[in-house]
Amino acid sequence: MKTADLEIPHPRMHKRAFVLQPICDIDPSVVHPVLGRAMADLLAALDDAGQKIFPLADQPALTTDRLP
């Protein structure tokens, strides 16, 4: 799907660890619909410098005093 406001899949999703890792956590054999490569392969080939992913349990707790 591609419109002036939206493109699915995102054209750079294969370059983003924060997108690929959760998909691989569910099913690493899922194939990218455009590139035709498994998500696990895309994640393994990713230059992940500066793309650290932290599990939710490792994130600071959200408290109401930090809400806008």
pLDDT, one tens digit per residue, over 21-62 is 999 999 999 999 999 999 999 999 987 666 777 666 655 665
Beta bridge partners of 38: 31
Tell me the chain's radius of gyration from C-alpha atoms. 15
Backbone phi, then psi, for 2, in 5-degree steps? -145, 120
Contact assessment for residue 48 and residue 21, using Cβ atoms and an 8 Å cutoff: no
pLDDT digit string, tens, across residues 4-21: 999 988 889 999 998 999
Whether this model's pTM surpasses 0.75? no
